[in-house]
Each structure stands twice: as C-alpha cells, then as structure tokens.
Structure 1
Amino acid sequence: MNTMFDSSNPASAPRVWEVGALCHAIGDALQARFNPVAVRGEISGFSRAASGHCYFNLKDAGGQIRCAMFRRNAEQMGFYPRDGELVEVRGRLGVYEQRGDLQLVVEQLQRAGQGAWFEQFLRLKAKLEAEGLFDTARKRPLSTMPRGIGVVTSLGAAALHDVVTALRRRVPHIPVVIVPALVQGAQAPQSLVDALQKMYLLAQSGQGQEADLAQKSPLIDCILLVRGGGSMEDLWAFNDEQLARTVVQSPVPLISGVGHETDFTIADFCADLRAPTPTAAAELVAQPRELWLGALDLLQDRLESAVQRVLDRSAQRLDLAAQRLGRPSEQLSRNHLQLARQAQRLRHAMLFKLQRMTQNQQALQAQLPQSLQRRLEQQKQGLERMDLRLQLLDPRLVLQRGYALLTDTKGKPVTQIKQAPPGAALKAQLADGAVDVVVTQPRLL
C-alpha cells in the first residue's frame, strides 16, 4: 500500500525548514559526527586565487569532495600541490551554505606517506632558524663579475648539463670548477658535505689542482649547489643538518638551486641566495658578455673624449702663450724660458694623468681598440709639433744667424737711424755675448 502525505493530519507533517537553516543544521551535524577529519585522496583541479586561498577537489575511485584551503594555512605548505598528486589532508567537514555544497576546509596538506618527513623538516627548519642560520644579515651579495665559478653536483645529473650550458652561453670566458658529489640516497648528505669542504679549500687558496688536468684552479668567487627536480625523497639529502651547517661556512657567496620553483629545502634557507632552478642559479652569476662589452664601449668613448679635452685645452694654452710673445728682448727670453718650463710640467702632468687613467682601467685597456692608441699617438705628435713651433720663436735663434740686437745706454731697443746719431754709444747683443759700439756715420737704406 502506498503511503501519501496527509496535509489534513498535522502530526504526520515534517518540519518545514528554511534553506539556510537546514544547511546550517547539516553543518552542525557533520561537525559533531566527523570533525576533525583526515582524508587521503588525489588532487584534482587545484587553483590558487589572487587572495592566496586554494581550491581543489579530493577524489578517489569511490567519490570526490570539494576542498578549500585559506591563505594562512596555504602559506605553511612546503610544496606546490599538483593535479594527480596523492595527498593527506586534515581539516573540518562542513557545508558551504551559499551553494549548499559539502566542503572540506583544509588546515594541513602533505604528500601521502611523507607526513613524518615533513614534520622532521619543520622541526629542523625551526631549530636552525632559531640559531640564526637563515638571517638575512649574514647573506652576502653576489659578485657582478666572478673570476671563477664553483659547481657542486652529480656528474651524471641533468642539472650539471643545464648549468654548464647556461654558463657557456653567457660567460664562456669565466672558468668553472666542478667538484662531484652524490645528490640522492643515504650517502648523499656526507658526499655533499665533503664536496663543499673541498670547494671551500679551492676558494680560499686558489691553488688547488684539477683532478684531470693537474693545473692550478682559478680563483672562485661563488659556488653553485644544484640538483634537478624530484620527489621529497629525492631531495631529502638537502635537508640534512650537517649539510646546512656546512653551507653557512662557505667563504664565498653560495647559491642553492635545488629542484623546481615550488621545491624548498633546508639548504635553500641557509644559502646566500636561492634560485628556483639550476639554470636560474647559473644565470644569477653569469651576466651576459654582451652587457659588459657594451659597458666597455661606453667607458672607451668617455676616456677618449676626456683625453681629447685635455689635449685641446693644452693646445689652447700653448697658442695663447705664443700670442703673448712680443718684441725680442731679455725679458722676453726669460718669459719664454718660464713658458717652456710650464709646458714641460704640463707634458709631465698629462703623461702622469694618462698613466693613472691607464692603471685604473686595466680591464678596459685590454679592450681598447688600436684606433684609440693611434689617436693618442697622433695627439702626442701634435703636442711635440706645437712645442717645436714655440721654440722657433726663440729670439736667440735669430741672433745665432748673425743678427744683433741694438739698444741705447738705457737698454731701449734701437730700431730707427734717427735713434743713432754720430758719436752715440750703443750696445750690440750677439748670440754669445754683447759688445759696446760707437756710431761713426749713419747711413740710410
């Protein structure tokens, strides 16, 4: 027999709920029955909103449930969840009343089977952070132009190929020293520690020997500790406490490039700088060669302009000094001598300044084109020609050709016959001395 709802019998009528009140009541029931709850499942449709909140579905073969993880909890994750990844979550089951959907508000999220490892990671991170190993004050800036780059990684790792390729493309002139180490497995932490300590000795002395070439290693100004991506187990060697303490002992800036952008290890926090990938680590210490060549070209132009201005000012001073020369006389000779001394000092000052500029720009000097060297030589020759012109104005050269400078008894130059009447006493200045003369018979030309 079918039973139908009898509206005429109030005792058989169910309670009439408001929609919101019913959703709230269901949420209370779920809270009392299940929460807190731990669920294992596969992530699907993971997304992070601009607010920092994360939304995804957790599913398995039997069903799926909507999940939300608010920003304050999402910031505590040590990795970026990916679709298809098996995880374990802890949170509270409830109803999202605006849509009437069952929803799990996630408070903790970790990869399945790695909960104990993640807790160990957090404990070590908190311990080392409390000791100051992560302090930004001890982080050192990178050298803009390292003389040598050290790399610690596995010789068979793809990360080594990526790093070497990036360095060869950007800075082929900078030498690279590789110290191999295991990057995965139980022996990897100690292997990494030993490799770093060996690299530190090379960086401190610069006198190490390369294993195959038996040549002196270059000076090392930075070290790259790199490894490609992988699971938490694959990267666990870089969460070792002894390795962390070894990283902070580096005598030069150390960059950690371990895993992918979303992977974090203890070594990342201890390093002077963390790179999202091994390739990015190489690019951080390898400014493109074209950038530096452009800077050298700019410095070359500035140096050439500065030298030209100095030479032009010097030439103007010589021309002005030559214009101020008047009629030949003893005072003029003294002025010329003083001018010659000033010119000599000016030449010495210019040479000294050029030498100082050359010393301060040793790196630039190697790049200066031959055209600039020829230009400097031309300016030097021009300066010597100006000096020769100045010497030709010396009145003593005129006297050496047989001419004499006549003056009266007061030292006034005699330039006209009316200044030399018969019987006048004069003085004739010759190239090597002076003679007294008496006018006997003036003659007009």
Structure 2
Amino acid sequence: MDIDSFSTKQEEVISVADLNRYVAQVLGQQVPMLWVKGEISNLTIAASGHWYFSLKDDSAMVSSVMFRGRAASVGFRPQNGLEIEALGQVGLYEPRGTYQFIIEQMRQAGKGNLHEEFLRIKNKLMQEGLCDSHRKKSLPSFIKTVGIVTSLGAAALQDVLTAIRRRAPYINIIIYPSLVQGKEAPYALSHALMQAKQRQEVDVLLLVRGGGSIEDLWAFNDESLARLIADMPMPVVSGVGHETDFTIADFVADMRAPTPTAAAELVSVTTESWLSLLEGYRQRLSRGFAHRMQNFSIRVDRVSMRLVSPQQRLAQLQQKYHYLQKTLHQAIQQMLREKASDLSQEIRALQAASPAVEGYYQKVGHLTTRLNRMMPLVLQKKHAQLQAKKEALQAYNPRAILKRGYSITYNSQAHVVKHANTVKAGEKLRIELGNGQLEVVVLAEEN
C-alpha cells in the first residue's frame, strides 16, 4: 500500500504492517535531511560495524543508527557523553513501529566546517600514500644537530631547549623561527622548512607548538605545508599541541610526539645512555677478543703438535733403521734355525730310508761346508743392502746436504726464499750453511 492508494475511510480496516509502511513513507517524503545536535548515550557498536545509540539533549531523546558504510568515513570513534552534530533522515523501523534517526554524516559539535576540512585533507593525503608508514624515515642512530621550527616567543621552544640541554648537552641546536598561528603561519612555516631543506645542516627537524583550539592549530593542517613535510630530506618529528591534539602535520611527519617536550626527548639520547651503550660494546668486544685469542691459541697448539722438525724426522728414520736391522737379523737367525731343523729331519729320514749312511754323511758334510761358506756371503749382501739404505736416509738429511756446499736462505719473516723476485734491495736475509749462519743484505735482485 502506498500513499496514493491509502484510504482514510473510517470503515476500512488495514493491517499494522500497512500502517507502519504508510507512516514510514510519509516521514521519508515529508521530513527532509536535517542536522541535529545532541549527546551520544546507550552506544552499541555491533559486530556488523553498525552504530546504534540514542541522541539526546536536556529535554528529549531519539533512537539513532549509523550503518557501517557511513560509519567508516567518520574520523573519530564515538563514545557515550560525546556531543555531536549529525546529518540524517527521520525513518520508521517498521517491524517494531519505532521512530529513529538514520545518520549519514557525523562530526564533533563545535568543530563544524573546520573539522570537515581537516577530514577532507587527511583522507586525500592518505589516499595518495603520504601517510604510509613505509615511506617514513627513521631517526639517525646518532644525532649531532637538531633543527627546531617554531616561534621564538613560544613556551614550547623553551620546553624543547630545556629538555635537550638537560638530556644531551652535546647536541647542537639550530632554530628556524616562524609564525605558528594565524593566516600567515602556513607560509612562514613552509619558508622555515625550505631553509632547513636548502642548508642541509641538521640531522633531524622538530616542528613544535604548544596546545590550543582547532583554530589555533589550523596552520599545521595546511595541505601545502603537509606535502613539504613529507618531502623533507631529513626526518621530521611533529610535536604540535597536547597529547589529544592531532594535526595533518602529525600524519605526514616521520614521527609524531604527543608534546613538544616529548619530541625533544625522542631526539636526545642521554649521555648516560650513550656511556652505557659504549660500555656494553666494550664488554662484547673484550669477550669476543678473548674468545678469538683462545681459539687461535688452540689452533696453534694443534698445528704445532702436527709439525715435525728435521731433527725429529731424522731421529724417527734412524729409529726405524735400527728396528729394521734388528728384525732382519732375527729373521735370518730364525731362517737358519728352521733350515738346520729341516736338515736334521732330512738326515734322520735318509738314515731311516737307507742303510748306506756313510754316503749320506759325506753328502751332509759337503752341504754343511757349502752352507758355512755361503752364509757369510748372504750376511755380507744383506749388510750391504742395509748400509745402502742408511746412506740413502742420510742423503735426505738437510744438514748433510748443507755440508756438501749448499745453503738455505730465509727472509726477515723466517720464510725460505725460493725466488729472487720475492726479495728487494736493502732487505736483510739469513743464510744457513753446513757450519754456521750468515746475515746478509741484498744489494740488487736479478731474475
């Protein structure tokens, strides 16, 4: 049923749903969009994102709703007791027949057009990415010079200077004076920032001002100023107003401090903190150096245990020679005993096999004589072989080589010199001879 077909004849009976639908249509067509001022109460933020609350003043109250799509554009979070100005349309919730105010826009009471302009600029810059965290610069690890953009007569300047001098007197301070309030303030602030940008003389820049109303702080909401802040080559810390004050400069700056004093504390590491940090580095360096020295000492010990000097090597070879000589002698003796045993067995076997023992005795005597004659020759041959091996071992002895007229040359680092191009004229060398050493100086090198 619509308004045109709706009949008000007394005898016609309609349903409750038709009645509520009719009233909803009348309200929608007859009552225009309105700005309504009131205080939020009974606030409920549903899981769906819709806001349900009552809007009241001293005399009346109206149920209100702001759906999720519209609520997302509000630049603040509602709370009970907050006074707002809301633009909306009167409607009827037909299932229950309750009258409600459906809100399209909302702003905090008293801020009016300035707050709307603030939100417009903020949303524009955020959409362009000027407020993104990935483009913000980090503060230097060590700050030597701090620039301050503010008014020379501002109390915030004295707060910043006091905080920096108290915490970090080693920091140099450069002030770029500027207006911080009024119509000319945005231009003055931009001019001060341009000076800092051109001079390139500070590590970080503080943009500070004390608290005030939205009108007092409006210069820091200027769009051109915000773009200049985002384009500064050095990090910019915004410390404008009190902790609850927010300006566009806060969103585009590389870091936001709740107060001017807090901004000063962000960029001024105390001397005690630096000393503590340096002490930590010193202890880590000391422990690391001691650990490396221990590792090097262990490596040296392991390498030295694997090294064998020529004298030790010669002693090992001599010991091996004596062992081989003794083993050979024992082997020959064992062989002789075995041959003698075999010979005795053969004699006994011959005696048992043939009664002609005398002939065999003669043969045995002949073999014995032959064996006694050959044995010295075998021993002499083996001894000659041992002597040849001994002489070969002696030939490998570096000392023996030196005694034949050769020498070994060492440089100043005790390294053996193998090529003439590894030494230079004037360099001192040590020459080891078969008997003694010589210290010499190189007159010239010839390749």
The TM-score normalised by the length of structure 1 is 0.55
Partner of 1:244: 226
Q: Which amino acid aligns with 1:61?
A: D
Whose radius of gyration is greater, 1 or 2? 2
Partner of 2:191: 194
Q: CA deviation at 1:90?
A: 0.5
Alpha-carbon distance between aligned partners in 1 of 2:157 and 2:95, rounded to the nearest angstrom: 52
Aligned to 1:198, the other structure's residue is in SS state: helix
Q: CA deviation at 1:182?
A: 3.2
Partner of 2:414: 341
Alpha-carbon distance between aligned partners in 2 of 1:155 and 1:21, rounded to the nearest angstrom: 71
Structure 1 residues 47, 259: closer, same or farther in 2, change over 3 A? farther
Q: Which amino acid aligns with 2:86?
A: V
Alpha-carbon distance between aligned partners in 2 of 1:16 and 1:306, rounded to the nearest angstrom: 95
Mapped contact 1:80–1:262 kept (Cα < 8 A)? no
Query: Which among 48, 71, 74 is matched to residue 71 of structure 2?
Result: 74
Mapped contact 1:78–1:264 kept (Cα < 8 A)? no
Partner of 1:233: 215
Partner of 1:89: 86
Q: CA deviation at 1:84?
A: 5.7
Unaligned runs of 5+ in 1: 1-10, 207-219, 344-393, 397-404, 406-410, 412-428, 434-445
Query: Which among 271, 274, 285 is matched to residue 300 of structure 1?
Result: 285
Mapped contact 1:79–1:263 kept (Cα < 8 A)? no
Mapped contact 1:79–1:264 kept (Cα < 8 A)? no
Structure 1 residues 86, 128: closer, same or farther in 2, change over 3 A? same
Q: Which amino acid aligns with 2:205?
A: I
Mapped contact 2:206–2:238 kept (Cα < 8 A)? yes
Q: CA deviation at 1:199?
A: 3.0
More displaced 10-residue stretch of structure 1: 139-148 or 229-238:
139-148
Structure 1 residues 127, 78: closer, same or farther in 2, change over 3 A? closer
In the TM superposition, what are the counterparts of 1:1-40 in structure 2 within 5 Å? 18=16, 26-40=23-37
Mapped contact 1:80–1:263 kept (Cα < 8 A)? no
Q: CA deviation at 1:192?
A: 1.8
Q: CA deviation at 1:170?
A: 7.0
1:62 equivalent in alignment to 2:47: no
Alpha-carbon distance between aligned partners in 2 of 1:46 and 1:165, rounded to the nearest angstrom: 44
Aligned to 1:326, the other structure's residue is in SS state: helix
1:253 equivalent in alignment to 2:238: no
More displaced 10-residue stretch of structure 1: 41-50 or 176-185:
41-50
Q: Which amino acid aligns with 2:237?
A: I
Aligned to 1:32, the other structure's residue is in SS state: helix
Q: CA deviation at 1:63?
A: 2.0
Structure 1 residues 28, 340: closer, same or farther in 2, change over 3 A? same
Structure 1 residues 84, 259: closer, same or farther in 2, change over 3 A? farther
Mapped contact 2:241–2:260 kept (Cα < 8 A)? yes
Q: Which amino acid aligns with 1:223?
A: L
Mapped contact 2:431–2:437 kept (Cα < 8 A)? no
Alpha-carbon distance between aligned partners in 2 of 1:325 and 1:22, rounded to the nearest angstrom: 119
Aligned to 1:182, the other structure's residue is in SS state: coil
Structure 1 residues 242, 98: closer, same or farther in 2, change over 3 A? same
In the TM superposition, what are the counterparts of 1:166-181 in structure 2 within 5 Å? 174-181=171-178
RMSD (Å), alpha carbons: 4.9
Mapped contact 2:205–2:234 kept (Cα < 8 A)? yes
Q: Which amino acid aligns with 1:324?
A: S
Structure 1 residues 293, 238: closer, same or farther in 2, change over 3 A? same
Q: Which amino acid aligns with 1:66?
A: S
Mapped contact 2:35–2:85 kept (Cα < 8 A)? yes
In the TM superposition, what are the counterparts of 1:254-269 in structure 2 within 5 Å? 254-259=236-241, 263-269=245-251
Structure 1 residues 44, 244: closer, same or farther in 2, change over 3 A? same
Structure 1 residues 12, 49: closer, same or farther in 2, change over 3 A? closer
Structure 1 residues 85, 235: closer, same or farther in 2, change over 3 A? farther
Partner of 1:312: 297
Structure 1 residues 32, 317: closer, same or farther in 2, change over 3 A? same
Partner of 1:271: 253
Alpha-carbon distance between aligned partners in 2 of 1:278 and 1:55, rounded to the nearest angstrom: 38
Structure 1 residues 432, 41: closer, same or farther in 2, change over 3 A? closer
Alpha-carbon distance between aligned partners in 2 of 1:41 and 1:278, rounded to the nearest angstrom: 34
Mapped contact 2:409–2:431 kept (Cα < 8 A)? no
In the TM superposition, what are the counterparts of 1:149-160 in structure 2 within 5 Å? 149-154=146-151
Aligned residue-pair number: 327
Partner of 1:377: none
Aligned to 1:300, the other structure's residue is in SS state: helix
Q: CA deviation at 1:136?
A: 6.5
Alpha-carbon distance between aligned partners in 1 of 2:277 and 2:160, rounded to the nearest angstrom: 21
Identity across the alignment (%)? 43
Structure 1 residues 78, 320: closer, same or farther in 2, change over 3 A? same
Q: CA deviation at 1:239?
A: 1.8
The TM-score normalised by the length of structure 2 is 0.55
Partner of 1:222: 204
Aligned to 2:414, the other structure's residue is in SS state: helix
Alpha-carbon distance between aligned partners in 2 of 1:90 and 1:113, rounded to the nearest angstrom: 14
Structure 1 residues 139, 120: closer, same or farther in 2, change over 3 A? same
Partner of 1:3: none
